[in-house]
Amino acid sequence: MSPPANEAQPADLQDWAHREWRIENKIHYIRDVTFRENLHQACTRAGTEPTVKTTLRNSAISCSRIDGEANIARATRRANRRPHDLITAVTSSNPTTQ
């Protein structure tokens, strides 16, 4: 739990900044670079499409991490070549995409 802004000490601000950049590097960077999310025009559209696409991208990243993948781009390329593995992983009671 973070202290109120008027009570924050420099160490609190440093901790907040580190946590924020950890999120930025862990999820947003991968979405921007691997999935080229910032280049898609869906972000300017109304409705649920942008949210659905973001949810699917986050799910793909999470599944890759659960499988122990350190390189999400490599895992994505492998998944693109082997879509049947993804179907098996989603429908299996013991999922794995490896």
| Mean model confidence pLDDT for the chain | 79
Q: Do 2 and 16 meet the contact criterion of CB atoms below 8 Å apart?
A: yes
- Residue 11 confidence (pLDDT) above 80: yes
Q: Do 61 and 53 meet the contact criterion of CB atoms below 8 Å apart?
A: no
Q: How far apart are alpha carbons 58 and 66 in whole angstroms?
A: 12
Is pLDDT larger for residue 6 or for residue 41?
A: 6
Average pLDDT over residues 13-33: 80
Residue ranges covered by each domain of the chain: 12-91
